[in-house]
Structures are given as C-alpha cells and as structure tokens.
Copies of this chain bind each other. A is one copy, B any other.
Amino acid sequence: MDQLLEKVKFDEKGLVGAIVQDHATREVLMFAWMNRESLGLTLRERRAWYWSRSRGKLWLKGETSGHTQKIHDIRLDCDGDALLLLVEQHGGACHTGFRSCFYRAERNGEWTEDGEKIFSSEQVYGR
C-alpha cells in the first residue's frame, strides 16, 4: 500500500485529481479529488472514496444515493499527479441525475445538454 502511495504526487493541498471512467462502456463519468487517506481507503476497500474540497471531509461515493463505484482498476499517469479509476457504476455518477457529470457539450457556441438522465435528484437526495 505504502509503495503505491509514495509514487503519487499530491499537490500543495495534499490532493490528487481522479478521473472516473465506466470500466465497461468507457464513458468518463466524473472528476473528483483524493487525499492520501481517501486513496488508501479506495485501494483497501475497492470502492471509491474522495475528498470533498467544499465540505472539507472524506466522502464515500454512493453513501447517500446508493450509487456506489466498485473499483476494477486504478491507473497512475506518467507524472504521478493524476489517477484514472475504472469502476462499475451503480446508478448515476452525477448528483444531477445524469449518468455522467459531463452531460453538457459544446454545440454551436453554447453548452447544450447531451446526456442520459437516469434518476431524479429530488427523489434520491430529497432536494
């Protein structure tokens, strides 16, 4: 475990960016941040833990929504400062109800919704 963690270059805030991709469809689902502790938990438990910069705490993906991410593969980039997680996504990755957080695409000079909405955020989060 330490051998893995020591190769990761955490930034001045102690964070590393993690790209999350569906292991089967290869759709990019989200981008989130990890600190050393959340990466350690993710490696150990094989489910995705992140660091919330806005709330200043660890979060287990799916803890509220049930939309967990089971880890299939974890990859590190050449510089050691970005991670790629290949996951089995239960439900949707995005809190808005879309399967992927990247549901807006550039179309004729505007960001246009272009994604698969798979749940109601009101029903899941009550807001």
Q: Which residues on A are within 8 Å of B, measured CB to CB?
A: 1, 3-4, 7, 17, 19, 21, 25-28, 30-31, 43, 73-79, 82, 84, 94-96, 98, 101-106, 109-111, 114
CB neighbours (8 Å) of A103 from chain B are: 75, 78
How many chain copies?
2
With A4-B111, A27-B26, A28-B84 as known contacts, state yes or no: A77 contacts B101, CB within 8 Å: yes
A72 to nearest B CB, angstroms?
10
Q: Whose C-beta in chain B lies nearest to the C-beta of A107?
A: B73
| Complex Cα–Cα for A51 and B111 (A) | 22
**Complex contact B17–A28 (CB within 8 A):** no
With A78-B96, A82-B31 as known contacts, state yes or no: A105 contacts B73, CB within 8 Å: yes
| Complex Cα–Cα for A17 and B15 (A) | 14
